[in-house]
Structure 1
Amino acid sequence: MLKVNGNWIRLIGIVGCTMWMTSCKQTPDVQVKPSYSVMKVALADKELSTSYSATIRGRQDIDIYPQVSGTIEKLCVSEGEKVRRGQVLFIIDQVPYKAALQTAIANMEAAKAGLGTAELTYDSSKELYAQKVVSEFSLKTAENTFLTAKAQLVQAEAQVVNARNNLSYTEVKSPTDGVVGALPYRAGALVGPTLQQPLTTVSDNSDMYVYFSMTENQLLALTRQHGTMDDALANMPEVDLQLNDNSLYGKKGKIESISGVIDRQTGTVVARAVFPNESRLLHSGASGSVIMPSTYKDCIVIPQGATVQMQDKTLVYKVVDGKATSTLITVAGINDGREYVVLTGLKAGDEIVSEGAGLVREGTQVK
């Protein structure tokens, strides 16, 4: 009995366990529906900042080359010195040019004397011809001699002007107010107009030009925002300059011009901003970044995570009757990497999926 009863006891345990497993298999799985973050869009003001790599140049960076050949007798300035327009920078050996000027002046005086003699001869020949003392041939010869002497005087006078100019070129002067750059040539160096490297560079850095490039899309966005390029330039806000050490320059600048031609290789246009430089903190040849703010009034701003990019289109999912409905939108070409300014496709009060839009499908129930 105990043995039999023991067998029955084991049988009942096995059957009970089998029934429990069967009931577990028949119980339906409970699926948890995903939930999505949603938001109601509203009108607000938004200021976006865009950074552009930039190169700093002086208002004028003028390379100074000698106009005559010779050895440098004297350096009249030092590197980094402020100079005024017309100030002497270098003096080139003047001896041969002074001699050339004296020779030209002597030739001019000789030409004047020759012209006087030819004029007297011509006048005399005219009187003698009138009295039929000399032939017409003699008269014409005297006239031609007179005209030749006149031309020789003009030529001699031109040589004097040229010699005087060459002498003046031995004093190399600054063509503008500015700051002297490097001085690669010293006293005694032989220089001339064919130098590969300039004597120096004078940079007018009272105001500095800062050049940067904008993409075609950014240019289109600016134009659409303001209506025309002229209006965009007139209404553009002041810009900041971030220097190479990541510090902000203390003065704000103004964008003065944007190139009207798009570079075919880079697809960009060159813009120029001007910054005051009374402190001479900015130097020609330096680099930095132009930070341009863009202000949008009463606009709709949404997180970028609420959008889905499909080729060249941008869409969001509006929540309509608890379901996700895809909606095409257009956004401003300028953004801060976190949010978009919506230009069309949404209105205040619309409810959209604000996060994980890429996981949503058309008609998804949004909890």
Structure 2
Amino acid sequence: MKPKGLKAFLLANPSVIFQKVIYSISLLSFIAISACQSGSGKNQANIALSNVPVLELQPKTIEVPKTYVCDLQAVQFVEVRAKVEGFVDRIYVDEGEYVKKGQPLFKLTSNEFNEMVNSANAKLMQANAEAKSTSLEVERLKILVDKKIISSSELELAKAKNAVSQSAILEAESMLKNAQTGLSYTTIKAPFDGIVDRIPHKTGSLVTAGDLLTNITDITEVFAYYKVTENEYLKYMRDKLVAEADTATIIDDTVNLILSDGEQYAFSGKLETMEADFEKGTGSIAFRVRFPNPDQLIKHGASGKIQMNSTLEGMFLIPQQSTFEIQDYSYVYILDKNNKVRVRSFVPIQRFGVYYVSDSFEPGDRIIYEGIQQLKDGMEIIPLEVTEDDAYDTLINSLQS
């Protein structure tokens, strides 16, 4: 009997059987090689994820600098304005010149005021003469009344005229003082020792009462005004009250100033006072610090930053290289007790050198120190413990290289 179907076909075509065998052997070989490659890759992955640097976190008390944008103002700043109308006759100083208190700065035309003074003087002389005449008349009539030559009514009338003449003297003296005051306003003097600012009106310019002639600034010392939040204000006041209650505690109100070029100012300032109330809308309050300025390096209206040291307790220092961000949230890889990595979010309070300062951890938490790019949530690793000193030295060396 002849075989039928597929069996008959294969017996009739032995080459096909050979091809099938070769195909099966090739397929098995490919699967075996793939399995070996897969196993080799897994071993390579295990090697790559061994000795992953891990840092154990411990809480610390740290002094961190905090900066506030500040506005720098002269300890004295006065706008020098004209009090009377007139033409600028003379300018005695130049812009940027240092002047002493009472030193003449400007001279306005004074002819009109000189005439007013002369007129007031003439009226005063007339009033004095009339008063002297009425006074003599009173003395003369008094003698006649005593001798009963005239009635006392005439004496009373003379006394009344004398009183009128005395009041005329007072009025004339007042007019003279006003005229002299107006004349004095034509000479503008420095109100205190300071530096002359820009002079907008030149010789011959017409100025009216209230026009700005220049500014005088005293920058031997400067004030720095900066604003803090209500929470920062409350913390400062509570710390101050505690320190004042303890007589052994010395209150340190000194602060540092960073100028606009990033350099620290050579002199420390002292926190003096603060505003009376909080600013509406922002909820902030301004503090004032006084800085010496012997070299007059700082000018009125300059800008800078106040730098203060803030003590933070129970904080954890997280290396910035150990973190990554997703949509403005900060994350690290935490290593659990089974050496598996887990993604953990945390809230940085502020930066401190190459670290983030945070209180979102517990003592003994272990984070992946570096190599976070090759990790995934749930991976198991072989950790390599890194000490805090080694981590810090590594970070500093990387910044210097």
**What TM-score results when the alignment is normalised by the length of structure 1?**
0.72
Report whether the alignment pairs 1:209 with 2:229.
no
Report whether the alignment pairs 1:351 with 2:368.
no
Find the partner of 1:5 among 9, 14, 27: 14
Instruction: Please name the residue that 2:214 is paired with.
Output: 200
Instruction: Please name the residue that 2:66 is paired with.
Output: 50
Equivalent residues of 1:125, 1:139 under 8 A apart: yes
Find the partner of 2:260 among 238, 243, 249: 243
Aligned residues: 349
Alignment of 1:271-286 (within 5 A): 271-286=287-302
Tell me the SS of whatever aligns to 2:255.
coil
Tell me the SS of whatever aligns to 1:238.
strand
Report whether the alignment pairs 1:63 with 2:79.
yes
The CA deviation string for residues 251-295 of structure 1, in whole angstroms up to 9 with x for no partner, is 3333333334333344443333333222222222333x2141314
**Alignment-mate amino acid for residue 209 of structure 1:** F
The offset of 1:63, in angstroms, is 0.9
Report whether the alignment pairs 1:300 with 2:325.
no
**Alignment-mate amino acid for residue 98 of structure 1:** N
Tell me the SS of whatever aligns to 1:159.
helix
Query: How far apart, CA to CA, are the structure 2 residues paired with 1:340 and 1:139?
Result: 100
Query: How far apart, CA to CA, are the structure 2 residues paired with 1:135 and 1:2?
Result: 176
More moved, 163-172 vs 77-86: 163-172
Report which of the two structures shows the higher radius of gyration computed on alpha carbons: 2
Tell me the SS of whatever aligns to 1:272.
strand
**What TM-score results when the alignment is normalised by the length of structure 2?**
0.66
The CA deviation string for residues 57-116 of structure 1, in whole angstroms up to 9 with x for no partner, is 221121111222222222111111111111111122233323322221221222233334
**Alignment-mate amino acid for residue 256 of structure 1:** E
Tell me the SS of whatever aligns to 1:199.
strand
Find the partner of 1:170 among 186, 193, 211: 186
Query: How far apart, CA to CA, are the structure 1 residues paired with 2:256 and 2:376?
Result: 40
More moved, 14-23 vs 141-150: 14-23
Equivalent residues of 2:226, 2:306 under 8 A apart: no
Equivalent residues of 1:45, 1:295 under 8 A apart: no
Equivalent residues of 1:327, 1:345 under 8 A apart: no
Q: Is there any run of 5+ residues in structure 1 with no aligned partner, and where? A: none
**Alignment-mate amino acid for residue 364 of structure 2:** D
**Alignment-mate amino acid for residue 7 of structure 1:** V
Query: How far apart, CA to CA, are the structure 1 residues paired with 2:343 and 2:285?
Result: 35
Query: How far apart, CA to CA, are the structure 2 residues paired with 1:2 and 1:326?
Result: 64
Note closer, same or farther for the CA distance 1:300–1:49 as it changes in structure 2 (3 Å cut).
same
Instruction: Please name the residue that 2:126 is paired with.
Output: 110
Higher normalized helix content (fraction of residues): 2
Equivalent residues of 1:50, 1:335 under 8 A apart: no
Q: Is there any run of 5+ residues in structure 2 with no aligned partner, and where? A: 1-9, 245-249, 382-401
The offset of 1:354, in angstroms, is 5.9
Query: How far apart, CA to CA, are the structure 2 residues paired with 1:360 and 1:112?
Result: 106
Note closer, same or farther for the CA distance 1:151–1:354 as it changes in structure 2 (3 Å cut).
farther
Instruction: Please name the residue that 1:290 is paired with.
Output: 305
Note closer, same or farther for the CA distance 1:270–1:360 as it changes in structure 2 (3 Å cut).
farther
The offset of 1:211, in angstroms, is 3.2
Instruction: Please name the residue that 2:387 is paired with.
Output: none
Instruction: Please name the residue that 1:224 is paired with.
Output: 235
Equivalent residues of 1:125, 1:134 under 8 A apart: no
Equivalent residues of 1:129, 1:139 under 8 A apart: no
Query: How far apart, CA to CA, are the structure 2 residues paired with 1:56 and 1:152?
Result: 54
Find the partner of 2:107 among 91, 113, 125: 91
Query: How far apart, CA to CA, are the structure 2 residues paired with 1:328 and 1:13?
Result: 57
Identity %: 20
The CA deviation string for residues 8-54 of structure 1, in whole angstroms up to 9 with x for no partner, is 122334455677899989x99x8x89999753333545343334333
**Alignment-mate amino acid for residue 188 of structure 2:** V
Query: How far apart, CA to CA, are the structure 2 residues paired with 1:90 and 1:181?
Result: 13
Equivalent residues of 1:80, 1:179 under 8 A apart: yes
Note closer, same or farther for the CA distance 1:260–1:303 as it changes in structure 2 (3 Å cut).
farther
**Alignment-mate amino acid for residue 350 of structure 1:** G
Note closer, same or farther for the CA distance 1:77–1:338 as it changes in structure 2 (3 Å cut).
same
Tell me the SS of whatever aligns to 2:259.
strand
Note closer, same or farther for the CA distance 1:259–1:352 as it changes in structure 2 (3 Å cut).
farther
Instruction: Please name the residue that 1:264 is paired with.
Output: 280
